[in-house]
Amino acid sequence: MSLNWEYHNVCVIVANWQIHTVTGLFVACFGAFSLSVMYELMRLVIRLVDLQIGLRRNSVGAAKDTQLFAMTNVSSKLSYGEKLIRSVMYAIQVSLSYCLMLLFMTLNGFLMGSAVLGGFVGFLIFSQDTLL
């Protein structure tokens, strides 16, 4: 297997998803782009849910109501519902990442570039809270 720039007879992830035309290539590239953006969105959702859980558990007032405090001072164990929600979100994130890995394993330059571009755009849009 080697890096290729083909658009005819390219198998994407599963045998039923074949690229035979330029239109099919654009659809597949849009799918790869969207998958990467969704991965970054899922990362944001997980961070926001964790922040919400931390803030709800601490509820110490506006003075200490920061993300850093909320994430480092959770004093009690998570409830079963909180664990379940976090686990489902993590499973979705892992599924998205494995699909992206499989897209890269096609070694198709168009699909790989679309996935990287989607990651770039997704991070640009959804990474506003990653400085802490």
Per residue in 51-65, pLDDT tens?
898 888 776 444 454
**Residue 75 pLDDT grade (very low, low, confident, very high; cuts 50, 70, 90):** very low
Residues 31, 83: Cα–Cα separation, whole Å: 30
User: What's the token pair of residue 121?
Assistant: 């755009």
The full set of domain ranges for the chain reads 10-70+77-130
Asked whether 10 and 18 are in contact (CB, 8 A), the reply is yes
Q: Which residue has the tokens 């571009």?
A: 117
Q: pLDDT per residue over 7-55, tens digit each?
A: 888 889 888 989 999 999 999 999 999 999 999 999 999 999 998 988 8
pLDDT score of 13: 87
**Residue 132 pLDDT level (bands cut at 50, 70, 90):** low
| Cβ atoms < 10 Å from Cβ of 34 | 14
